[in-house]
Amino acid sequence: MAILLSCQSISKSYAGRTLFDELSIGLEEGDKVGLIGPNGSGKSTLVKILADITQPDEGEVVRRKDLRVAYVEQEDQFGEGDTIEDTIAKAALEVPFEEHLRAASIDSTIKMFGFPDRTAVATSLSGGWKKRLSLARGFVKRPDVLILDEPTNHLDLESVLWLEKQLKSFDKSFIVVTHDRLFLESVTNRIIELNKQYPKGFLSVSGPYTQFLISREEKVAEQVNLEHALASKVRREIAWLQRGARARQTKSSARIEQAGKLIEELADVKQRNTTSQIEVNFQASGRKTRELIDAKSIKKSFGERILFSNLELLITNRTRLGLVGRNGSGKTTLLRTIIGDIKPDSGTIKRADDLRIVWFDQNRKQLDQSKTLQESLSSDGESVVYQGRSLHVVTWAKKFLFRSEQLKMPLSYLSGGEQSRILIANLMLKPADIIILDEPTNDLDIPSLEVLEESLEEFSGAVVLVTHDRMMLDTISDQILALNGQGGFEYFVGFDQFEKVMPSFYSDDSGKSASREKKVDTRKKPESGLTGPEKRELNALPKKIEEAEASLASTQAQMNKPEIASNFAKLEELHGLQETLEKDLEKLYERWELLEAKNVQ
């Protein structure tokens, strides 16, 4: 495949902090790249460099002659008073089309993106339609390389699935920065992770996201084994140095120099193998009351439009409810209604006494952008009280991967992911009966999402989740409540079930057939079978087992070689690896048997 563009030994720093150093990555024809990495690893900066918007401090970017690159940024910005058609037409003017081809491209793009009124003013659109318009500006240029930075933010589930379809049929190369794991699995054929834990500063794996996960585990295991091997060598060399060289010969001097290099290499590998992740552990109130909120036949309208009608909802202390629907269908309104911020038009809502609710707001309105990080994390600026213990704000900040030098920075200087971590930190300080999360996945990196999911699974209170992240929905939710925005609603046992009926669910103009007259107990779990994540895990296990068996066989074959059998240090290293592989293989078989048994229930 021909190289379209490549960065060669590029480096970039901001405010004295190095994002990446001597990074070399190439993009080939046909590449559908998912670019991932921890918050602050430089993903957005890298794609801006590739799009020729930002310049590297060192190194260069080489592009094929006449290469057309279109970049869609995270934030949606439009000209004051520009209509949808104006916005798309301005983007098309950036490309040397012939006039009739430009007009045709503008018209087909408007139709492809489903804009109902091309004369609507761009700044008046909802967040979801603004994101579609930003994407349309990229597609209208008919690029050779399309670069998308967090394109699923602010899109509802239906729009995310629509975007997947568009990217699957896109016949050119693209790079997408996203933390949506199922989106990555669906549309990419190569994953690149920016992370300083890798020797080159990144890991590139051909294949979808699941293949990347397997390869990353192997790479991390290799580095751990390398650290152990280097540690053994360093111990031997230090012991030799402590005995002292009997003669100052060239051979001894060379060995001393080699020992120094080994120590430096070990320190480098140790640093790469030391990874950090946020610490999330929500506090439950310990309430014994079973029923927290009992809503009966509630209705809410805006003007003549009915958002939901005759809706019944029971939230108990073990509820795990996912709430889905198109943008503007009334999800946030329903949440505010059941907690008491808004009164229903009709129906009744009974709430437990002294109900404690914490809310993650997707717009981060709880945060004052003029305050510093330290002021936002601690009301007195010095300490916080968490689980009955007083913690200094520096210690508390480190739990969420903030450096001490960041504490005096205004929030406006922090990234979206960093601000989301502040919200999570503040929610953790409040004992809760119910946690409401409204689009918590926007801007959070994948490691943080996984930690958040684990914490929510362990939380002993109720969780109500609004998100377009299907993996999080599958992992956390026992049931899905879908709103069609026309007064109708329906409960589903999982997103897979909802996805099958989504077109007909939204086409229900009356909104009546989708409604359910009976109360649904949201404590209820699927009676049998596997969850969505478990199904994917079971499908991936045979390949994992096969690869684990191959690794074990390869290790055993190495141990049987004569040159290895006489090398005690190498033999000891391989023996340790063999034991690790055998334990891993045993765990894989146990997990396979468990999921198979659950699958046939």
Q: What does each C-alpha distance from 495 to 53, 237, 370 come to in angstroms?
A: 39, 58, 39
The Cα 362–Cα 155 span in angstroms is 12
pLDDT at 86 over 90: yes
What integer pLDDT is reported at residue 524 of this predicted model? 43
Q: How confident is the model at residue 4, as a pLDDT?
A: 95
Q: pLDDT tens digits for 141-174?
A: 999 999 999 999 878 888 899 899 999 999 999 9
Where does the pLDDT of residue 367 fall: very low under 50, low under 70, confident under 90, or very high at 90 and above? confident
Report the range of poorest mean pLDDT among 18-22, 234-238, 443-447: 234-238
Question: Mean pLDDT throughout 6-15?
Answer: 90
Domains of the chain by residue range: 3-207, 283-356+432-527, 366-430, 535-601
Percent of the chain with pLDDT over 90: 45
* pLDDT grade for 531, boundaries at 50, 70 and 90: low
Highest averaged pLDDT of the listed ranges 13-22, 342-351, 395-404: 342-351
Q: What is the per-residue pLDDT for 250?
A: 52
Look up the CATH architecture of domain 3-207: 3-Layer(aba) Sandwich (3.40)
Q: In whole angstroms, how large is the CA radius of gyration of the chain?
A: 27
246, pLDDT greater than 80 = no
User: pLDDT for 556-575, tens place per residue?
Assistant: 777 767 666 666 667 777 77
Q: 174 forms bridges with which residues in the sheet?
A: 32, 146
pLDDT, average across residues 356-381: 85
Would you state the structure tokens that stand for residue 121, as one six-digit string? 């003013």
Residues 98 and 100: their CA atoms lie apart, in Å, by 6
With both helix axes pointing from N to C terminus, report the angle between 84-93 and 99-112 in degrees, rounded to the nearest 10: 140
For the segment 130-142, the average pLDDT, to the nearest whole number, is 93
pLDDT of residue 518: 40
At residue 530 the predicted structure's pLDDT band, cuts being 50, 70 and 90, is: low
Question: Worst-scoring range by mean pLDDT, 165-174, 307-316, 571-580?
Answer: 571-580
Q: Calculate the CA 414 to chain-centre distance.
A: 18
Q: Is the dihedral of CA 394, 399, 405, 409 positive or negative?
A: negative
Dump the DSSP string for 162-218: HHHHHHHH--SEEEEE---HHHHHHH-SEEEEE-TTSTTSEEEEES-HHHHHHHHHH
Other CB atoms within 10 Å distance of the CB of residue 70: 23
For 349, phi then psi, to 5°, come to: -135, 120
Euclidean distance between the first and the last CA atom of the chain, given in angstroms as a whole number: 48
Q: What pLDDT is recorded for position 311?
A: 94
* Sequence-separated (6 or more) residues with CB below 8 Å from residue 62: 3, 5, 6, 7, 8
What lies within 8 Å, CB to CB, of 127 at 6+ separation is 76, 154, 327
Task: Evaluate if residue 595 carries a pLDDT over 90.
Answer: no
Q: Please report the pLDDT score of residue 503 as a whole number.
A: 85
CB-CB contact of 386 with 396 (8 Å): yes
Largest CA distance in the chain: 96
Q: Are 329 and 474 in contact (CB under 8 A)?
A: no
State the pLDDT at residue 527: 43
**Mean pLDDT score, 456-482:** 92
User: pLDDT value at position 34?
Assistant: 97
pLDDT reported for residue 490? 93
| 528 confidence band (pLDDT: 50, 70, 90) | very low
Distant-in-sequence, close-in-space partners of 469: CB < 8 Å, separation ≥ 6: 179, 180, 181, 182, 441, 449
Does residue 312 or residue 598 have the better pLDDT? 312
Say if residue 350's pLDDT is above 60.
Answer: yes
Say how far apart CA 385 and CA 393 lie, in whole Å: 10
**Whole-Å CA distances, 273 to 187, 196, 219, 240, 268:** 30, 9, 11, 27, 9
Order of all β-strands in the sheet with 17-28: 17-28, 3-14, 58-63
Look at residue 598 in the predicted model and tell me its pLDDT.
Answer: 65
The Cα-based distances of 208 to 35, 195, 532, 534 in angstroms read 12, 18, 18, 18
Output the DSSP codes for 531-575. -HHHHHHHHHHHHHHHHHHHHHHHHHHHHTSHHHHT-HHHHHHHH
Indicate the average pLDDT of the chain.
85
- In this structure, are residues 596 and 535 in contact, taking their beta carbons and an 8 Å threshold? no
Tell me the three state secondary structure of residue 19: strand
pLDDT digits (tens, 9 = 90+) for 441-467: 878 888 889 899 999 999 999 999 999
Q: Is the pLDDT of residue 248 over 60?
A: no
Give residue 273's pLDDT.
67
Whether 112 shows a pLDDT value over 70: the answer reads yes
Residue 434 pLDDT greater than 60, yes or no: yes
Which option is the CATH number for 283-356+432-527: 1.10.3720.10, 3.40.50.300, 3.30.420.40, 3.40.640.10?
3.40.50.300
Contact 547, 214 (CB under 8 A): yes
40-44, 129-133, 276-280: which range is least confident on average?
Answer: 276-280
Statement: residue 510 has pLDDT above 50: no
pTM of structure? 0.75
DSSP 283: P
The domains spanning 3-207 and 535-601 adopt the same CATH topology: no
Percent of the chain's residues with pLDDT above 70: 90
Q: Does domain 535-601 fall into CATH 3.90.1280.10?
A: no
Of 273 and 493, more confident:
493
337: helix, strand or coil: helix
Q: What is the 3-state secondary structure (H, E, C) of 60-98?
A: EEEECCCCCEEEECCCCCCCCCCEHHHHHHHHHHCCCCC
